[in-house]
A and B are shown apart, each in its own frame.
Chain A
Amino acid sequence: MSAEAGTRTTRITATPGGVGDTPLRPDGTLKVTGEFAYASDLWHDEMVWGATLRSPHPHARIAGIDITEALTLPGVFAVLTAADVPGENAFGLEHADQPVLASEFVRYEGEPVAIVAADHPETARRAAQRIRVDYEVLPAVTDPRRAMDADAPAVHRPGNLVRHLTLRRGNPDPKAPVVVSLDFEVGMQDQAFLGPESGLAVPGDDGGVDLYVATQWLHVDQRQICLALGLPPEKVRLTLAGVGGAFGGREDLSVHVHACLLALRTGKPVKMSYGREESFFGHVHRHPATMTYEFGAERDGTLVYAKANLLFDGGAYASSTAAVVGNGGTLGLGPYRFPSVAVDAYGVFTNNPPCGAMRGFGCVQAAFAHEALMDELADAVGVDRVEIRQRNGMREGDVNITGQVIDSAAPVAELLQIVRDLPMPPPLDPSDIRALPGAVGNTTHGEGVVRGVGYAIAYKNVGFSEGFDDYSTARVRLELTGGEPVATVHTAAAEVGQGLITVEQQICRTELGVERVVVHPKTTGVGSGGSTSASRQTYVTGGAVKAACESVRAVVLERAAALLGRSAGELRLDGEKLLGASGEVLLGLGDVLGTEAVEETVEWRHRPTHAIDPETGQGNAHVQFAFSAHRAVVDVDVELGLVKVVALDSAQDVGKAINPDAVVGQIHGGSAQGMGLALMEEMVVTDGHVRNPSFTDYLIPTILDMPPMQVQVLEYADPHAPYGVRGVGEPPTISSGPAVAAAVRAATGKALHRVPIRPEHITGT
């Protein structure tokens, strides 16, 4: 990677293991030896197991539930239904519209109806099967277009519309000499994190409960659990258990309330852990989308207007659908300059599986459409596909389609140029079939194989938008332990594998100049860290840790000043020493700390965002924008429709790489997930039933599917963000898939307006 390419890099004083360095993850050794405790690894004396009975129907009325047979099975401790929920039988990220356990209706296949605690997981599952539920099957609405009809069955009262975002800007009746349009469809993607939903609930002596769980936001979980249990927050204490990936799929509750209910009822610790099939039913997915786009342009390719209609299938409950629509509507035309715009974005209820957050959040679906259409516009006006993007690409100072000024770097043209100029992979070598489409399936020795190259650019908001109070809390303590200064950083911000704990340590080292930094377990014993989503934690929790360190440092300097009889302004803290104005050592940090620790807690906010105008969609909706570009090279066996991705190279502006190795790791992994959606990943849902809830039938990229990836990183500091950082995690997932799809179109000459692209779409059979 090249950190030199950006010329406005923030220079940070080099502290070993600090900001800009690449210290190793503090949990790395535990993870390679098998000692790291993931949520599904937890164990407790007297622990029993929970299991969930789920609806087999996409839509039905529950006429009755008989738990007698389940209760009589030896080893069963409790069987609970909706009647046993002590608080409100409702939860939800934005709207509490989803029952903890279904009472009157089930609205999707897999909706939880009853829960069981037993001495063995198999006993619990068998007991669940003995629960008799009397269902009256109801007509299901499973086509999101049909859901918008006035006479469609209503999934919820008053109707099936979750949100309709309208965005209007510029000329309401624009004309252009060149007009291109398309319809595009994106299938339902699953996060497919490898660590299944799991948690351990331990009943407390005070009538409360301690929950150890894999999640993305402890405090939003706590709020929902308290509502359902009818308990105050001090009686519902959460600790983050080891998280085996998240990608959005752990924003909504899964085992949380169920495990707590069973623990409180049985008085025993209860562990719940889903198998892979249940996991496919146990979390929300990426919204499938159907989109219609039209671009108008001058004959030289300069964009004049865009019209877009996006429809997101939210499934049976609201989850974060409204925010996904917000992103799709406000960002869904890509990082281009459009004088006139008309966008309508809809999210609707259906009886399909609920959809919510997944990496890229509303921008992923839209990017497939806007990037496919940019290629078609390029071809229509006879301009190179990269060049047309560069000419129309956003620059710093431009106004985006919601009227917001892009007030930090927007290197669209440069990112595209970088990926175009990266070395190309070697030409097709038919001598080793392992490198060909179909590989050891021995389907070709090179005949019928065509190479294609595709490009894409995308952008995404970082942090929560549209006026959300998006803050994080950090507590930093500095003290002498065994005679050495040690910093302890405590946030509730979830580490899900991305490396936030490493970043927290790095910031403490840079700000306090200490080598040893302990990361406190993530708990609700400190204020909210906000969600580990929207690429926001390095920015927001990083900002909170930095601010807490600054407060600690100020106290240390005050104390030192008092000891020395000087003013704090003359002193600075560096390398565990207090230095005077000319760098002379005045005191050791240990002399200042003595036996009295310094501890500060800070709640930190980024610049506020604002709601958009309900009629025009105008407003400063977002706090920061992050840009990435991809170039994909594919070999396609056009006779069989088999695709081998040969290269997937990218460039991204990260503002400031706090940990450059971890940044590249995020870009690699994000690129893989985008590629998966382009070529293989789809939850197949017919008539409301999921047809492929397994890793046998839902395919994610293997090491054989992934090509080598070159990554170039720009560091154009955002002057509004701590250290200049820009969120990293999501942009690569947005631009990689459209680049792969474009490469397949280039190889095949087919329009391919649906992803994932299947072999039959290529062969036409």
Chain B
Amino acid sequence: MRVTTTVNGTEQHVDDVWPGESLLYMLRERMGLPGSKNACEQGECGSCTVYLDGEPVCACLVAAGQAIGREVTTVEGLAAGGALHPVQEAFVECGAVQCGFCTPGLVVAAHDLLERVPRPSDLEIREALAGNLCRCTGYEKILDAVRLAADRQVRA
């Protein structure tokens, strides 16, 4: 089937999509956007988190066809004009990235949190990121990164 969808602000047509494919597969394998990650493909790890019409979703749980006529924003679309988004910048600076496989999903989830809650408490950060598994960091530096990004965004 043909899927017409807007990804990172650009309308795109994707042909020959098998109806059983997920949005994640279509992004990664048909659209050259492998930033969203395939860690579990069962909605448990959050590594494939993208925005669908402004709502964060696990792209592995969305059928490719469900994206028809809708707007998708992936981790590749967060950095505007080559500059890192403050959340991305903070993840790098705070050492919140080790292997980095969870990072794209966490960056999108943290981005969403700070859009909704500019000054989250630690408990709010933990609740918001509870659907994103990380195996390397023990999450301490991820908390640091979200706090730092929040500080900078509130000041800016």
Binding site for B on A (CB under 8 A): 24-25, 27-29, 31-38, 40-41, 43, 120, 122, 191-196, 243-247, 273, 275-276, 432, 434-435, 440, 496-499, 661-662, 664-665, 668-673, 694-696, 700-704, 706, 708-709
Cα(A649)–Cα(B44), bound, Å:
28
For B112-142 the 0/1 string (1 means CB < 8 A from A) is: 0000000000010111011111111111111
Cα(A277)–Cα(B140), bound, Å:
28
Cα(A295)–Cα(B59), bound, Å:
54
Asked if A194 meets B28 with Cβ closer than 8 Å, knowing A665-B141, A668-B138, A669-B135, the reply is no
Cα(A669)–Cα(B138), bound, Å:
4
**A703 and B130 contact, CB distance less than 8 A:** yes
Binding site for A on B (CB under 8 A): 18, 20-21, 28-29, 32-42, 44-45, 47, 74-76, 78-79, 84, 88-89, 91-93, 95, 97-104, 107, 123, 125-127, 129-143
Closest Cβ neighbor of A41 among chain B residues: B34
Cα(A701)–Cα(B38), bound, Å:
19
Cα(A670)–Cα(B130), bound, Å:
19
Cα(A431)–Cα(B1), bound, Å:
54
Chain B neighbourhood of A245, CB < 8 A: 98-99, 101, 135-136
**B42 and A694 contact, CB distance less than 8 A:** yes
Task: Pull 6 A–B residue pairs with CB atoms less than 8 Å apart, ordered by A.
Answer: A32-B91, A33-B35, A245-B135, A273-B38, A702-B132, A709-B138
| Min CB gap B18→A, angstroms | 7
Asked if A194 meets B84 with Cβ closer than 8 Å, knowing A243-B99, A662-B95, A709-B140, the reply is no
Cα(A706)–Cα(B132), bound, Å:
13
Chain A neighbourhood of B100, CB < 8 A: 27-28, 31-32, 36, 244, 497
**B39 and A703 contact, CB distance less than 8 A:** no
Closest Cβ neighbor of A47 among chain B residues: B29
**A702 and B133 contact, CB distance less than 8 A:** yes
Asked if A496 meets B35 with Cβ closer than 8 Å, knowing A41-B28, A434-B123, A703-B132, the reply is no
| Min CB gap A301→B, angstroms | 33
Chain B neighbourhood of A694, CB < 8 A: 40, 42, 44
Which of B29, B133, B141 touches A700 (beta carbons < 8 Å)? B133
- What is the number of contacts between chain A and chain B, taking CB atoms within 8 Å? 180
Cα(A71)–Cα(B91), bound, Å:
48
| Min CB gap A307→B, angstroms | 35
For A662, A696, A703, the residue with the greatest tally of chain B CB atoms inside 10 Å of its CB is A703
Chain A neighbourhood of B39, CB < 8 A: 194-196, 244, 276
Closest Cβ neighbor of B77 among chain A residues: A34
For A31, A41, A195, the residue with the greatest tally of chain B CB atoms inside 10 Å of its CB is A31
Asked if A672 meets B138 with Cβ closer than 8 Å, knowing A33-B35, A194-B45, A276-B41, the reply is yes
**A31 and B95 contact, CB distance less than 8 A:** no
**A695 and B40 contact, CB distance less than 8 A:** yes
**A34 and B45 contact, CB distance less than 8 A:** no
Asked if A34 meets B104 with Cβ closer than 8 Å, knowing A243-B99, A665-B98, A704-B126, the reply is yes
Chain A neighbourhood of B101, CB < 8 A: 38, 193-195, 244-245, 497
| Min CB gap B126→A, angstroms | 5
Chain B neighbourhood of A275, CB < 8 A: 38, 41
| Min CB gap B125→A, angstroms | 8
Closest Cβ neighbor of B131 among chain A residues: A702
**A244 and B28 contact, CB distance less than 8 A:** no
